[in-house]
Structure 1
Amino acid sequence: MLRSMEEGSNAASTAITDMTFEQALAALEQVVRQLESGDVPLDESINLYSRGEELRKACQARLDAAQARIEAIVQDGDGKATGTRPFDSEPQG
């Protein structure tokens, strides 16, 4: 239990931009658990909600980027995958 609390406080002190998707998601889940517990004072709840929203935005941005990369799979005329291209590059053809 103590380790879990330590991990939560480490996640709270880590800049969101420095987190992996998995770390940000775990931090968001921790924020949700704290808010749902009802044991957090109002001012802290507001701060937690704000951090949770930033974590949610970061996770969503990473998911959107991953989806774009998946969609960037290049297909031939028969619909078979022939390779990939960076999702931010123009298709060739």
Structure 2
Amino acid sequence: MTNQEAMPSFEQAMDQLERIVAQLESGDVPLEQAIELFQEGMKLSQLCSSKLEQVERKIEVLLEQDGGMVKKPFQADEGDKGDTR
């Protein structure tokens, strides 16, 4: 399995994060499992944040020019290629 296949989409990551939060909020999770869920949740949170930052940078590439919007090519940094920090 490649790194790209292993990385969930933003929507999948948010769904997983919501499930983890619900489990942790229920209070019925043993401590060991709660720690593992918390760690997984933090990774998913960082992934979502990274994906949102990428989208924000792509949107910023849109420049207003002559009364209209012009789309310029987006150049991803090396750190933007699936890096979850």
Instruction: Say whether the 8 Å CA contact 1:73–1:85 is kept in structure 2.
Output: no
Aligned residues: CA RMSD:
2.0
Q: Which residue of 1 aligns with 2:73?
A: 85
Q: Equivalents in 2 of 1:71, 1:87: separation in Å?
A: 12
The alpha-carbon distance between structure 1 residues 57 and 46, as it changes in their structure 2 partners (threshold 3 A), is same
SS of 2:74's equivalent?
Answer: coil
Q: Equivalents in 2 of 1:22, 1:79: separation in Å?
A: 34
Instruction: Say whether the 8 Å CA contact 1:69–1:86 is kept in structure 2.
Output: yes
Gaps of 5+ in 2: 78-85
Task: Point out 4+ residue stretches in structure 1 off by more than 6 angstroms.
Answer: none
Which of 52, 55, 59 is the matching residue for 1:66?
Answer: 55
Aligned residues: 73
Query: Is 2:20 the partner of 1:56?
Result: no
Gaps of 5+ in 1: 1-15
TM-score where L is the length of structure 2: 0.76
The residue identity in structure 2 corresponding to 1:42 is L
TM-score where L is the length of structure 1: 0.70
Greater Rg, structure 1 or structure 2?
A: 1
- Any residues of structure 2 matched to 1:4-83 within 5 Å, and which? 17-76=6-65, 78=66, 80-83=68-71
Q: Equivalents in 2 of 1:18, 1:65: separation in Å?
A: 15
- Which of structures 1 and 2 has the larger relative contact order (alpha carbons within 8 angstroms, sep 6+)? 2
